[in-house]
Amino acid sequence: MKIGLVGWGIETQSAYRHFGPDHDYLIVNEEPRDDFPAESDKIKLQFLSAKKPSGITSNVTDLSYLDGIENCDEIIYSVTSVKNLEQRFGQDKNFWQKANTVWHIFFEEVKTKNLIGVTGTKGKGTTSTLIYEMLKASGKTVYLAGNIGISVLDILGDVQKDNWVVLEMTNYQLYNFPYSPHIAVALMITQEHQDWHKDMDEYLAAKTNLFARQKKDDIAIYFANNELSQEIAGSSPGIKIPYFAKPGAV
């Protein structure tokens, strides 16, 4: 099987480890990287020669580095590269049927249903870590992954049916995402990342995906002092639990 990796960051590097050395790879990236694997008969590298401007939203206008990625059997893309892919391949069903993120793989293959997803504009990492530490202190086997710096694929093989997983999830990871966890948590939501999203509605739609596909017995926790947090949690058919800030805390 030939696997295409779009971007070369924490998540796509974990996909490379996950699938292993028995496959052929085409690794494409906007710019050269010092930590690329060595090219060989099984590994081909493709990138633009110039460094792009710094910043996560600085997607390039020259999309030639994506040439041929559509010919791979399976494609794993970094969450921030999706806008480039949309520009290049539009709504091509043949492409998107085989293109996924590591998050798609994780939600499809993880053995446990005890997933807690945390999103918000600020405080995701702190809140995710606190939930992780509380579950750990209660004696549960629990994993922490996501935008915290640990790829979900790096824990996938270790997670068992009765374990818990706490996931810090950003708007990038939730963009067009078709899964929701058993417990979804929305912190305060404010306007952000408007240089990446086309408008605030698209930003909120991404956040809403954390809740929209929950079931009736799932749990949606939201910040009741914030209208946007209430709004995205309102898309959940599950049990809704508000939390409040102490007077003067917000």
In order along its 250 residues, the chain shows pLDDT tens digits of 999 999 999 999 999 999 999 999 999 999 999 999 999 999 999 998 766 555 544 466 789 999 999 999 999 999 999 999 999 999 999 999 999 999 999 999 999 999 999 999 889 999 999 999 999 999 999 999 999 999 999 999 999 999 999 999 999 999 999 999 999 999 999 876 566 677 888 999 999 999 999 999 999 999 999 999 999 999 999 999 999 987 655 5
Residue type, position 194, single letter? Q
- Position 51 scores a pLDDT of 61
- Position 158 scores a pLDDT of 98
Side-chain-facing half-sphere of 55: CA atoms under 13 Å: 8
What is the phi/psi pair of residue 58, to 5°? -85, 60
- Position 250 scores a pLDDT of 52
* Selection from 177, 173, 58, 182 nearest residue 120 by Cα: 173
What pTM did the predictor assign?
0.92
Residue type, position 158, single letter? D
Contact 56, 73 (CB under 8 A): no
